Amino acid sequence: MACDPFQLSECLRRHAALIHRVARAYARDAAEREDVLQEIAVQLWRALGSLDPGRRESTWVYRIALNVAISHARREGRHRAGRGGEEPLFTLAAPAEAEPGPEVELLQACIAELGPLEKAPVLLHLDGNDHAAIAEVLGLSVSNVGTKLQRTRARLHAALERRTRTEAPRTEAPRTEDRRHATG
Amino acid sequence: MRLDDLERAWSAHTKTLERSLALDERILRELLLRKVRFALGPFALLRALEVALGLLALSALVPVVLAHRTEPRYLLVGVAVLVLALGLTIQCAGLLVRTLQLDAAGPVCTIQRQVEHLKQAEYRATKWALLGGVLLWLPVLLLGFEVPTGIPALGRVDLAFLLGNLVLGLILLVLGQAWSRRVVERPDLAPLARRVVDALASRSLHSAARHLDELARFERE
């Protein structure tokens, strides 16, 4: 088992955005996101020894991050395993300008409607991975990934339409009021 | 708003994140790595402890049962206790090995399947420990009493008392199952109570089976 703190911190630094996005997609709130982040760090540290220098490091990090996040999402009872009060192993601080805008938040909300397994190929796709890379991370065939992405994008599209429809009256309402005031 | 627009916004946000995420690794140094080691410890330690206890119980009880192998009561009850202890020890040893072999860096589908199979094995072990414990706690106690004292307690206890205890155990099991089905959906159960209730009501087993089905569908489609 490798236990080089420098190696781990370098790995976390290189893949901070990837880890952050996976944790965000699978956690329901900030506290849960912290739990997922710490769990991913622990598993990365555990697995450092098995990292093959000949293979893509991002594939290795994706696999660990997604395995941890999916297991976390599926954990029975959803009771906090209790890192409560403990100091975190590391923190990922995002400055104000890196907070997601309304469009990214809308897409995150649509992704949150998917099941834990369905989320994985979408996240990988959105991060710019091609079908072959997604297939390698998930352990699926390339053609299966293609079909899956097509179907999931259709579901995302439907979720987006539904959300836009339900959001629209809420945003339209004040305008109607304004118009009434203007004409009245 | 179109999905493509959102995907473009996502891509732009990813670039911002990559530029600006600040990793605070002060706490990753020596002191907190000890914490990581500690965090990994309890699960494997608990399994190892269960295996050690099982082996200890077997090594203590086998000579007692063998010493009374001509007595039908010892043969019947003793063999039941030994079979349960051996079965649970093997299950716990298997869980320990499979847990240590689990490689989180494997393909997501493969690892998730292994995790669900592992969960099923763990739930089965818990269920068998509960069922066996409720039915056989008295014979285990009597056989265990003989280990340090040499007094054949099992042979001296009234047979009607032993059978009565067995019937009481069966009644408790039926009541326990009915109770667990009533409270299984309650969210405020303590972790240990949750584990017992889930095992009795088979909720955890069903949940793992459902996840495996979901995984199979995901791989197939």
Contact: B1, A160; criterion CB under 8 Å: yes
Lowest mean pLDDT of A55-59, A148-152, B80-84, B201-205, name the range.
B201-205
Pick from A86, A104, A160: CB nearest B13: A104
Confidence at residue B176, expressed as pLDDT on a 0 to 100 scale: 87
Confidence at residue A180, expressed as pLDDT on a 0 to 100 scale: 46
Task: Assess whether pLDDT exceeds 90 at residue A135.
Answer: yes
**Confidence bin at A4 (pLDDT 50/70/90):** low
Contact: B1, A46; criterion CB under 8 Å: no
Task: Assess whether pLDDT exceeds 70 at residue B171.
Answer: yes
Topology (CATH level 3) of domain A1-76: Rna Polymerase Sigma Factor; Chain: A (1.10.1740)
CATH 1.10.10.10 placement within chain A: 100-167
For the residues B158-169, what does the mean pLDDT come to? 90
Min distance A139 CA to chain B CA atoms (Å): 5
Contact: B32, A89; criterion CB under 8 Å: yes
Confidence at residue B164, expressed as pLDDT on a 0 to 100 scale: 92
Task: Assess whether pLDDT exceeds 80 at residue A156.
Answer: yes
Confidence at residue A89, expressed as pLDDT on a 0 to 100 scale: 59
CATH 1.10.1740.10 placement within chain A: 1-76
pTM: 0.77
Contact: A50, B211; criterion CB under 8 Å: no
For the residues A155-177, what does the mean pLDDT come to? 70
Confidence at residue B5, expressed as pLDDT on a 0 to 100 scale: 85
Q: What is the pLDDT of residues A14-60, one digit of tens each?
A: 888 899 889 989 988 888 888 888 888 888 888 887 788 888 899 99
Comparing B7 with A133, the larger pLDDT belongs to A133
List beta partners, residue A93: B22
DSSP code, position A92: E
Comparing A9 with A77, the larger pLDDT belongs to A9
Residue by residue, DSSP assigns B115-142 as: HHHHHHHHHHHHHHHHHHHHHHHHHHHH
* Residue type present at position B172: L
Query: Which residues of chain B make contact with A126, given a CB cutoff of 8 A?
Result: 7, 10-11, 14
Q: What is the mean pLDDT of chain A?
A: 79
Confidence at residue B110, expressed as pLDDT on a 0 to 100 scale: 93
Pick from B36, B219, B221: CB nearest A89: B36
Backbone angles phi, psi at A91, to 5 degrees: -130, 150
Task: Assess whether pLDDT exceeds 60 at residue A148.
Answer: yes
Q: What is the mean pLDDT of chain B?
A: 85
Contact: A60, B32; criterion CB under 8 Å: no
Counting other chains too, the contacts that A45-52 makes at CB distance below 8 Å and 24 or more residues apart are A45/A2, A45/A3, A45/A8, A45/B33, A45/B36, A46/A1, A46/B40, A46/B104, A47/B103, A47/B104, A47/B105, A48/A1, A48/A2, A48/A3, A48/A4, A48/A7, A48/A8, A48/A11, A49/A1, A49/A2, A50/B103, A50/B105, A51/A2, A51/B105
Measured CA angle at A102 (ends A98, A103), to 5 deg: 95
Interhelix angle A5-14/A16-26, nearest 10 degrees: 70
Query: Which residues of chain A make contact with B102, given a CB cutoff of 8 A?
Result: none
Topology (CATH level 3) of domain A100-167: Arc Repressor Mutant, subunit A (1.10.10)
Confidence at residue B81, expressed as pLDDT on a 0 to 100 scale: 93
- What ipTM is given for this predicted complex? 0.75
Contact: B28, A9; criterion CB under 8 Å: yes
Q: What is the pLDDT of residues B15-69, one digit of tens each?
A: 787 776 666 655 555 445 555 554 455 667 888 999 999 999 999 999 999 999 9
